[in-house]
Chains A and B, each alone.
Chain A
């Protein structure tokens, strides 16, 4: 294994790190930057619990070698809120009682944030289809889908 110097911009903060070539971005975020909001759920891009944003696009952090993320502008679930002010998706998940155990929630709110940046005016089918890569074993998804539609409505009103 070889070592590589990389730079990650995470939640507006610049990190200069030396990583092994096989180190995964998820592990670097969790165990080295202590950003444990992104979760390990499967390690094979199947459950979505590790979802992060690169700019406005969602990625599975469990599938990205840290060395490949050199120079990326990353937002993790910890970076979605503006200080204590939650983003509209986060607030909507609380308002619509869309949270149970909460282990999938970081991935869900990150994916939903990406969804609304891609399509600010989604319908229910669009939301359901977009979230099919994120597993939740607790809620049955209905309240989560409502949350995303609610957040879309609130964001439109705010404009």
Chain B
């Protein structure tokens, strides 16, 4: 009867296929106004004045920097305040990238709002912009900021350097001295766009008691509440953020999206509900994945031991900080946790302000970036020194018993479950082409094929035994109803991967009830305790653990009632599934004959006035276990066109116990699709004359893989390792972000295997591939 580890139809499936599932933009309130934003046409300009009189005469309500609390904040609030840089206000006095919102207008219709917005007279003092991160660090370059804050401490910004982060452990110099070979290489990854299908939106409705209710695109309802309350100057109890379905996030709503406090402030000013939905073109200018430049140095002995590694990183994070400090700490942690390096690691990171869209997390928070560099380097090492890539990895990787950095240097725990060996060994069997990849082939062929391997991971949550820079806990309320059905109120958001189904399954397992007897209640910030955010692949592992712990305590209460009803000591009782009654069944351990259903016990407790079996608490995990992935990818390179296709992929995931294997495989496959875009197509170059994106924010000029670019269904092979995470709810850890980590290097390594050409810069578009083939004399005539 247990549904954990089984494929069950997702609970929200019927609502999602019939258009009934509600996302933020689907909220409609009588009397609601529609809002639009005015966005800066300049990459760098002081805003001298904004004249709103004409718009107001048209009946519009306007919001400028003069109307909104100029509180300095960072929209990403998952780090502790002392480790959080604050450099922005909701609406700025100075625009620092094209597309930055500088005013907003609400009116009875969207059209009227737009027309009114067009009448705003903005006087700008245009400033010189800077786009290139190296240029930005030079003396005399235009300066984006003079002063910002780290926590409450004032920080002076010089040469646009936002953050410098250095981490040094062990003895790198000694490690390199011990190495027989030193490998060094530069890597570069582009700025790309999340392209979650739902553009950022918000509906906000003031209430008659001076408070406000908000429906927003969010990965954290509590994160939104905290910032909205600060901006509006309201007590937290006056701000209620409702949990609505998220139409894809990939990290772009860990932070409170800029449109959200704008919408809330407009609604408060108008004293009416307001809807503000970003146009796709605006969304394109709102959040990007961090680009990265790395210099990697790795030392290896002749017997295949990595003795030291040094990563230098340059991060062009754009016009304000959505925590590049935390980002660089994570980059260091992912790199440090991939291999043992005999404990000798060094990281030097510099993050620089430029007049571009601010960068934020996007599935992996630096993991796909640095994994591409390290796993490409491992391929170089194996090829040059003649090591078997699987054996080399097995000899050097960090596995069970080793330390893993879950979220930068301050959050670490010991690995307790690990599917790396199984994934590498079994994965290779599922890709027989791996064994024959180095056999001689006709390099004059029109299509060159090759196979590549890479492995990666991500954390499950950001909790270690000791609290660190990042906040991590969750909350839950669980209640057994008087018929044996279960209610649960949880603040945890679901990106769509199936987190909510996993929470429901955890409840079924504790109470031994069928899935149909469990219901996640509508939740908001008023009726739930704090949950930091669904980020860092923590939904099931941390949010699920909070549900598990509340459920167990609720069950204890229920067993106490059952003890009274059955004249037994509660410690002698247990719950078994009773399929006939479709209920959990409480009985003396080992004696199922005498018992009562949980519904009967809950009803008895109610009519006897014993009370309700319910429990609410917050809960913090104390580990951040890695979930591992391995990719074996086969590529075909067309030497006439430079086009790269993927005939086959084997993806191995290790998420501990899989709550729902098909949904797990869906995440692995979806991530492969996004990785395909990252490696082969996606890039967001800016026009350095105007500061605009070269695609002008148009989806039509941003190429992502579609159904057509994926291998045939039978050649997308997704599997999961057979592991059990002892600290997770029913053995589960995460998978979401891990699923992308190793895609990039696996494809690039396969291209090397096919052509002998090593790419250290992404994307590898057909034009770039063809040019490289021509340079290597491999292009087909």
Interface residues in chain A, defined as those with a beta carbon under 8 Å from any beta carbon in chain B: 1, 20, 22, 27, 30-31, 34-44, 46-47, 49, 76-78, 80-81, 86, 90-91, 93-106, 109, 124, 127-129, 131-132, 134-146
Contact = CB atoms under 8 A, between A and B. Distances in A.
A10 B528 CA distance: 39
Interface in B644-677: 660, 662-663, 665-667, 669-674
A136 B666 contact: no
A43 B17 contact: no
A40 B199 contact: yes
A43 B279 contact: yes
Contacts of B249: 101
Given A43-B279, A140-B669, A140-B672, A99 B707 contact: no
Given A44-B699, A99-B16, A103-B247, A127 B25 contact: no
Interface in B17-73: 17-23, 25-26, 28
B112 to A, nearest CB: 11
**Chain A CB within 10 Å — which of B14, B17, B245, B497 has the most?**
B17
A141 to B, nearest CB: 4
Nearest to B498: A100
Contacts of A42: 280, 699
20 contacts: A39-B198, A44-B699, A46-B699, A49-B197, A77-B17, A86-B18, A94-B9, A96-B662, A97-B663, A99-B13, A99-B16, A101-B249, A102-B16, A124-B712, A129-B708, A138-B248, A138-B496, A138-B666, A140-B716, A146-B713
Contacts of B665: 97
B710 interface: yes
B248 A132 contact: no
A143 B249 CA distance: 20
A105 B277 contact: no
Contacts of A104: 197
B16 A105 contact: yes
A132 B707 contact: yes
B13 A94 contact: yes
A101 B196 contact: yes
Contact of B19 (A78, A99, A131, A136): A78
B22 A93 contact: no
The interface residues of chain A, by DSSP majority, are classed as: loop
A103 B198 contact: yes
Contacts of B23: 39, 103
A63 B10 CA distance: 32
B627 to A, nearest CB: 17
B248 A101 contact: yes
Contacts of A142: 669, 710, 713, 716
A128 B14 CA distance: 23
A7 B194 CA distance: 39
**Chain B CB within 10 Å — which of A30, A41, A46 has the most?**
A41
Contacts of B698: 44, 46
A38 B23 CA distance: 11
B199 A131 contact: no
Nearest to B278: A40
B710 to A, nearest CB: 5
Contact of A132 (B196, B246, B280, B706): B706
A96 B716 CA distance: 15
B495 interface: yes
A83 to B, nearest CB: 11
B128 interface: no
A137 B19 contact: no
Contacts of A39: 23, 25, 197-198, 247
Contacts of A81: 18
A118 to B, nearest CB: 17
A81 B15 CA distance: 11
A21 to B, nearest CB: 11
A80 B495 contact: no
Interface in B755-777: none
Contact of A36 (B12, B26, B197, B674): B26
A156 to B, nearest CB: 19
Given A98-B666, A100-B248, 20 more contacts: A36-B22, A39-B247, A44-B280, A44-B698, A76-B19, A78-B19, A86-B17, A86-B18, A93-B17, A99-B17, A102-B12, A105-B16, A105-B17, A129-B707, A135-B704, A135-B706, A137-B248, A137-B670, A140-B671, A143-B669
B700 interface: yes
B111 interface: yes
B496 A128 contact: no
B280 A43 contact: yes
A101 B706 contact: no
A97 B496 contact: no
A109 to B, nearest CB: 5
Contacts of B699: 42, 44, 46-47, 135
Nearest to B676: A140
Contacts of A131: 706-707
A142 B105 CA distance: 42
A32 B371 CA distance: 48
B707 A127 contact: yes
B34 to A, nearest CB: 8
Given A37-B20, A40-B25, A106-B19, A97 B10 contact: yes
Nearest to A76: B19
A96 B279 CA distance: 32
B250 interface: yes
B7 interface: yes
Contacts of A80: 18
Contact of B496 (A36, A99, A134): A99
B710 A78 contact: no
A137 B704 contact: yes
Nearest to B201: A40
A101 B199 CA distance: 13
B110 interface: yes
B111 A139 contact: no
A137 B18 contact: no
B196 A137 contact: yes
Nearest to A140: B673
Given A129-B708, A132-B706, A146-B713, A47 B13 contact: no
A40 B277 CA distance: 10
A78 B20 contact: yes
A1 B115 CA distance: 12
B195 interface: yes
